[in-house]
């Protein structure tokens, strides 16, 4: 599960998983967050699930 909190110009993304617990990422701009998201959800990892990847990236673009 991921949540994004907008605090002024800063975006704080929290990634929560059963395996790793909570991990936080702080971004100073939306382009920086999108760069992270495109690397985190890379085409190689989602090679057979391109529609799922596109849906995830579309959700990030709405932030």
Encode pLDDT of 19-54 as tens digits.
889 999 999 999 999 999 999 999 999 988 999 999
Domain total of the chain: 1
- pLDDT of res. 30: 94
pTM of the model: 0.83
Asked whether the predicted pLDDT for residue 61 surpasses 90, the reply is yes
3-state helix, strand, coil in the chain (%, to 5): 35, 35, 30
Helices (H), 1-63: 30-40, 50-61
* Per-residue pLDDT, 57: 95
Partners of 5 in the β-ladder: 12
- Residue ranges making up the domain that contains 33: 2-61
Residue 11: pLDDT band by 50, 70, 90 thresholds? very high
Q: Which of 21, 22, 10, 30 shows the shortest CA–CA distance to 38?
A: 30
Give 27's strand partners.
Answer: 11
């Amino acid at each position: 599960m991921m949540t994004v909190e907008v605090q002024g110009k800063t975006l704080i993304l929290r990634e929560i998983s059963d395996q790793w617990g909570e991990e936080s990422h702080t971004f100073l701009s939306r382009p920086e967050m999108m760069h992270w998201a495109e690397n985190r959800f890379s085409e190689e990892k989602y090679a057979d699930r391109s529609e799922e990847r596109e849906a995830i990236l579309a959700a990030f673009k709405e932030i």
